[in-house]
Amino acid sequence: MRYHNITKDDMLNGEGLRVVLWVAGCSHNCPECHNPVTWDIRGGIPFDQAAKDELFEELQKDYVSGVTLSGGDPLHPDNREETGRLIDEICDRFPGKTIWLYTGYDWEEICGLPCIRKVDVVVDGEFVAGLKDNSLRWKGSSNQRVIDVQRSLLTGAAVIHDRS
């Protein structure tokens, strides 16, 4: 997996104060995407041990609520395996932290992926410029959903996050 940036003290990409990992690779190519530099799966730099250490150092801070995986798309087929391992490690090392994941895939396409079981919130769906709404919380266009993953897995249908 490759990445472009680790953002610290972020309050825009999920609930609370977060650290955000911006991964490389996205095949959705949404017109007017806010981050097209992350589309190239070969872009950015390798997500190596130093990057993981930087991410985990932030997660050790009491005031950091959790991590958000964005990009690009953490669920790009070439990212899925490493994203899953990273999610597993975060859950093991930081059980009190939440994990949010942004993806251009719809919930119905990804809900069966093994890595999703440990995620708290998924923001799903491609960004649609014609549905852009700056008043929306945690998403860019009205077709996207902020999904409570654990409740959705229990019910078998997408359950919208209560605070979206």
Encoded tokens for 157: 């249908």
User: Can you give the residue ranges of every domain in the chain?
Assistant: 2-155
What is the chain's mean pLDDT, rounded? 95
Evaluate whether 74 touches 23 at the Cβ level (below 8 Å). yes
What pLDDT score does 93 carry?
98
Across the range 43-48, mean pLDDT stands at 97
Evaluate whether 124 touches 105 at the Cβ level (below 8 Å). yes
Question: pLDDT, tens digit, for every residue of 58-115?
Answer: 999 999 999 999 999 999 999 999 999 999 999 999 999 999 999 999 999 999 999 9
- Residue 9 binned pLDDT confidence (cut-offs 50, 70, 90): very high
* pLDDT tops 90 at residue 161: no
Q: Calculate the CA 160 to chain-centre distance.
A: 16
Helix (H) or strand (E) holding 153: helix 149-155
* pLDDT tops 60 at residue 164: no
- Residue 163 binned pLDDT confidence (cut-offs 50, 70, 90): low
What pLDDT score does 77 carry?
97
Other C-beta atoms closer than 10 Å to the C-beta of 34 total 9
